[in-house]
A and B are shown apart, each in its own frame.
Chain A
Amino acid sequence: MRSAASFRGGWLAAGIGLLLLFPLSSPDVFFLDVFTTGFLLAAFAASWDVVGGVSGQITLGHALPFGAAAYACALLTTLAGWPLPLAVAAAVLLAAAVGAGIGALSAPLAGPFVALLTLALGEIAHEAAVGHTFFSGPGGYAWGGEGGIPVALPWRDASPFSSYYAALAFLCLASFGMLRFSRSGAGLILRAVAGSPITAQASGVPIARFKRLAFTVGSAFAGAAGAGFVLHVGRATATDLSLELSFQAATFAAVGGRGTIVGPVVVALVLHVLFQGLSLPPSARVLLYALTLLVTLRFFPGGVVGTARDLALRLGGKDGAQPPRLRGRNKPGKGTP
């Protein structure tokens, strides 16, 4: 068990090392940008996994906290003139509050109805973002709609290298935080809620409160990723709230193995860099994501990475027994009626 864990840790360290070295190979600026976006998207995928994987609350509106934070950043800096750090902090808080709200609404619902409710809430936010126009007082500009809202950044042109390293640092910190959360006492209780809400309730777990907690924590991290994304891109647009974005996060988590945090991060990075690096148009990318997801759900219900890991463990397991901690990891959702 110990050796297996440290082995995986070694692979992760090697991966991070490679990512740290990559910019030094003086690559094209385009690829640096692809990786920077990939890091932020990977953090977003991991935050989906906190809600949808660890806690088993299938959310299809996870773009809502992401986009809410992005819009908050843009509006607070551009229209209200707040300093950037304050705006980012407010944006993350707003995302957490949005998550708490979604959690409170969806707590009494079971299984697919959580998906329905979150989908509807996300779409409402998306329509509002497309339809609403904001006016700035002094300049007399009209912002919003399809064009989105720019962010007032204190720096002129961020170097692609500093953006790359900042996003990578954010991804490592956020993933570490989410991993710690998912393995904390609250995380274990959330896994129990995901496995069987009724059993958890019978054991005295206040499941509504824990579902709210899952949405709040996951949304706060999604909001942080959204704030980072808007700082990198420089503009909050309605696509930050789109159903396609929520769907991408669910895809990364499903392929990477739900509830593992690291799996979705790895898959998000690989798929994003692959599809974006090939300069595929957005609709082709979403199409490929959908195909990948359908194949995964059909043939590897535990996720491609999860299934491969289980297989590797079974083949390489010392006395044939799987470590109990890992066996429990793929379960969320399977036991629910």
Chain B
Amino acid sequence: MASPLPQVLLDGLFAGGTYALMAAGMTLILGVVKVINLSHGAFFTLGAYVAYALAERGVVSPLAAAPLAAVIAFAFGVFLGKSFINPVRSHPFALPVGTLACALLFEQAAQMVWGPHPLLIGSGAPWVGPGGLVIRQWGVIAFLSSAALLGGLKWVLSARPGLPLRLIAEDEEIAGSLGMDVDAIRYLTFGGACAMAAAAGALLSPSGAVTPTMGRAPLLLSLVVVIVAGMDSVAAIFLLSIGLGIFGNACAWLLSPQWSYVALLAAVCLLLSARPAGIVVLAGRRD
């Protein structure tokens, strides 16, 4: 192989394109529910473990795992949204700490069920492209599925079915006075966004080891995307996620895998220190 750089870029592209699905979910939650969901990474991990559990039983296909993971995550997400997020929404302390509690709860539960050791899922034989470039099957599947789902989301948001979401993001009182069930839409959106994170986790599960804390790095990536891109444009989320995916992969290749996590953490710190005012506006301080 001539230079590993094209390989790093290609894998980063595949991973980043799939992270976009999760980041878009995070953005939906921030826009509609107006909550920073620190448990989003746990749903990513949940998706990966669903894929692992299926692979253990002989179904080695991210395309089968992603819908199942999405359904499971939707159920958990609706439960969480309805029974916890909605009731404590007005309490500024409860949200970050409570969603972090959910994430840690899931991490510890996963560790007790599956153990702390990294688990591997077999992926299909890769295709070898020009110049020794390895094109991984899961990467292509994950990237294309994510792009298709995001295209669907963009269409839904811009068309009539997405109107309640946009209206609630804009002004909840008006949405309520028009007869929309704001609470129900909130927890359904929360569940849907969690399903997106779990689908991304299932699609990306063959890319590396499945561990209880694997969702932390994608969570930070989503946070960076939310802070920078906001919820106006799905395309911006997609492109930014790809950029960050490539950046993370390059960090992992140049330095060591844990550095991509540190780089994302540093990006969050820098962004928050550089433009605190801009983010507060994004978070919607109208209510």
Contact = CB atoms under 8 A, between A and B. Distances in A.
B280 A127 contact: no
A297 B94 contact: yes
B101 A251 contact: yes
User: Which of A52, A130, A131 has the most chain B CB atoms inside 10 A of its CB?
Assistant: A131
A34 B78 CA distance: 39
Interface residues of B, number: 44
Interface in A279-313: 283-284, 286-287, 289-291, 293-294, 297-298, 301
B93 A58 contact: yes
Q: Tell me the dominant secondary structure on chain B's binding face.
A: helix
Contact of A301 (B94, B102, B223, B283): B94
Contact of A244 (B87, B91, B102, B104): B104
B2 interface: no
Interface string A239-276: 00001100100110010001000000000000000000
B265 A110 contact: no
A113 interface: yes
Contacts of B269: 105, 117, 120-121, 124
Contacts, number: 134
B189 to A, nearest CB: 18
A254 B97 contact: yes
A112 interface: yes
A119 B256 CA distance: 22
A291 B88 contact: no
A294 B104 contact: no
A121 B220 CA distance: 12
Interface string B269-287: 1001100110110010101
Given A247-B101, A286-B104, A117 B268 contact: yes
A258 B116 CA distance: 33
Q: Tell me the dominant secondary structure on chain A's binding face.
A: helix
B92 A112 contact: yes
A60 interface: yes
Interface in A131-145: 131
A201 interface: no
Contact of B97 (A60, A123, A128, A291): A60
User: Which of B38, B116, B276 has the most chain A CB atoms inside 10 A of its CB?
Assistant: B276
Interface string B39-52: 00000000000000
6 contacts: A115-B96, A247-B104, A254-B97, A287-B105, A294-B84, A333-B91
Given A105-B273, A289-B104, A301-B88, 15 more contacts: A52-B93, A58-B96, A105-B269, A119-B38, A123-B265, A124-B266, A283-B111, A283-B116, A284-B112, A287-B104, A297-B97, A298-B84, A298-B88, A301-B91, A334-B91
